[in-house]
Amino acid sequence: LTEAGDTMKVQKADVAALHQVLAATELDRYGPGDLLAAFAEARDPARGGVLKKAGFDDTVRGLVQGDRLSEEEKEFLSFALSNVFFAFDRDNRAEVRFEEFASGFLLFAGGSKSEKLALAFRMFDADNDGLLSRAEVFRYVRSFLTALLALNEASSNASRHP
């Protein structure tokens, strides 16, 4: 989704991809705060606002019980979740801005939509005044759309590569 007027279409396959990811990972058994905390621990200590791919991978391995997954499920999840991570990697450096990534990844957490939106809002409200600037609102909304678009791409590629 860009300012050039691109559109986003959510299809049944996209919803099915989200359900497939949730069914296999059970990430929705974690509340938004718990999921956020797990990824916060993986941030690069020297650069607190950055999550590197290695930290992401380690966190996912800690959250998802891979021993009960088939090889096909592991392959799909690796592709789909990596696709979400790299959708946030705008500089191709295998690292993402933590608050944008975490806000988008909250889509996979359990809990209510309101709870997830409120938590994400607090991450972007840098001065804790209860308000978001225009730039913060753009980043806030973009975080959710980026995650949705990454799932859209994952479902499209999965349907082309059974």
CB 97 within 8 A of CB 85: no
Q: Which 8-state DSSP code applies to residue 5?
A: -
CB atoms within 10 A of CB 4: 5
Copy the structure tokens of residue 156: 């499209």
22-40 confidence digits (pLDDT tens): 889 999 999 999 999 999 9
Output the pLDDT for position 161.
Answer: 38
150-161 confidence digits (pLDDT tens): 887 765 655 433
Lowest mean pLDDT among 3-7, 47-51, 120-124, 134-138: 3-7
Q: Which 8-state DSSP code applies to residue 106?
A: G
Output the pLDDT for position 38.
Answer: 96
- Over its C-alpha atoms, the chain yields an Rg (Å, rounded) of 15
64-100 confidence digits (pLDDT tens): 988 889 999 999 899 999 999 999 999 999 999 999 9
Q: 11 — alpha (psi -120 to 50), left (phi > 0) or beta?
A: beta
Q: Is 83 helix (H, G, I), strand (E, B) or coil?
A: helix
Question: Which residues make Cβ contacts (< 8 Å) with residue 52, sequence separation at least 6?
Answer: 42, 44, 94, 95
Which residue shows structure tokens 């590197």? 52
**Average pLDDT for 105-120:** 93
- Would the pLDDT of 162 be above 70? no
